[in-house]
Amino acid sequence: MSSANNEPKQWLTTRNILIASIAAAATYYLWVEHHTHFIHFLPYAIFILCPFVHIIMHRGHAHGVHGSARGNGAEVSQSTQSLPDDEIASRQAREERNK
């Protein structure tokens, strides 16, 4: 058994439990005491959350390594073997423009 399986879950830390508890208490307070104000705020919450969702969703796209991620022609041909010819041509044209 590896040691990675014995480590606690990252979200189950004292800090995260405290943050979740405070957020739950604040949400309850807003709902009980100011539910009319809270309801009117919800459409604006979408705009406030957009930057955070964008950051979270783009975390795994390796932004910032575009210049070093370009490979030679052999790597490109291996990655495009299952694509249609027009898609391969468009990728090659894009790579030529980026050079």
31-82 pLDDT, tens digit per residue, is 888 888 778 888 898 888 888 888 888 876 665 555 555 554 545 555 555 6
The number of distinct structural domains making up the chain is: 1
Would you say the pTM of this structure is higher than 0.85?
A: no
Q: Nearest-5° angle of CA 47, CA 50, CA 53?
A: 155
| pLDDT value of position 21 | 96
Q: Give the whole-angstrom CA distance, residue 77 versus residue 58.
A: 26
Q: Is the pLDDT of residue 19 over 90?
A: yes
What are φ and ψ of residue 57, in 5° steps? Answer: -70, -30
How many Å apart are CA 25 and CA 75, to the nearest integer?
Answer: 53
Q: Residue 33 sits in which domain range?
A: 3-59+73-98
Instruction: Assess whether pLDDT exceeds 70 at residue 2.
Output: no
11 part of a folded domain: yes
Residue 26, domain member (yes or no): yes
Residue 24 lies in a domain: yes
Specify the pLDDT at position 18: 94
Structure tokens at 63: 């932004």
Confirm whether 66 is domain-assigned: no
The backbone torsions φ and ψ at residue 82, rounded to the nearest 5 degrees and listed phi first, read: -95, 5
